[in-house]
Amino acid sequence: MCRLLSRRPGFVHLDCDRLAWETYEPNGPAYGALIATFGRGILTQGGAIDRAKLGKLVLTDPEKRRRLEAIVHPLVAERIRSEIVGARERGTRVLLVEGALLFHSPHVPRELFHLPIWLEAPEEVRRARLRAAGLPEEVTEARLAAQRELRPPPWVTVVDATPPPEEVARRVLSLIQGARGGSG
């Protein structure tokens, strides 16, 4: 949905998963802490963090997931702040920040966001979309299980994300335009 909206002039999409993965890079800000916390077993033969191995490890263990988030989420929040400043300097009209855990992380200040939106869809819809994206069955199920207890906080606007992505994007655009006084 963010990718669809980011095609509009002045709209930019910021994917927090990508920001997190960048912190994993060798010599990245999370690299050493991840190895110290989870061991060298999360590395590829070339010495990079193997995201699939790390994902399997943390998606099935809530305590390990919290430890990962405590390492990575503050770094992602700092990058979001930096991207907000850069977007303003470049004249970006709307910065779309996408992240499944943004609103539940104690490490990401909610005041970073002007219009927090929660996309909600039944698990079977999310499962079908994850499969369509090519995720392996075990990763899909682990991700769904890890997110099963997440509920929208009271301070977000909830949007039904069951319809096709184009319709969801139209609904979100309408919210953005309303928040911006009709522009956007």
pLDDT at 179 over 80: yes
Residue 10 falls inside a structural domain: yes
Residue 184 falls inside a structural domain: no
- pLDDT level of residue 175 (50, 70, 90 thresholds): very high
pLDDT at 68 over 80: yes
Give per-residue pLDDT as tens, 139-171. Answer: 889 889 888 888 999 999 999 999 999 999 999
**Other beta carbons within 10 Å of 5:** 20
- Cβ atoms of 103 and 152 closer than 8 Å: yes
Q: 18: domain range?
A: 2-179
Question: Which CATH number characterizes residue 155's domain?
Answer: 3.40.50.300
SS3 (DSSP) at 115: coil
Mean predicted confidence (pLDDT) in 9-30: 95
pLDDT at 183 over 80: no
Residue 174 falls inside a structural domain: yes
Residue 144 falls inside a structural domain: yes
Q: What is the pTM of this model?
A: 0.86
Give per-residue pLDDT as tens, 76-120. Answer: 999 999 999 999 999 999 999 999 888 889 999 989 999 999 999
Residue 49 falls inside a structural domain: yes
What is the rounded CA–CA span in Å between residue 156 and residue 183? 21
Give per-residue pLDDT as tens, 26-62. Answer: 999 999 999 999 999 999 999 999 998 998 899 889 8
Could you tell me the CA-to-CA distances from 47 to 26, 35, 50, 68, 127 in Å, in that order? Answer: 8, 10, 9, 18, 32
Q: How many domains does the chain have?
A: 1
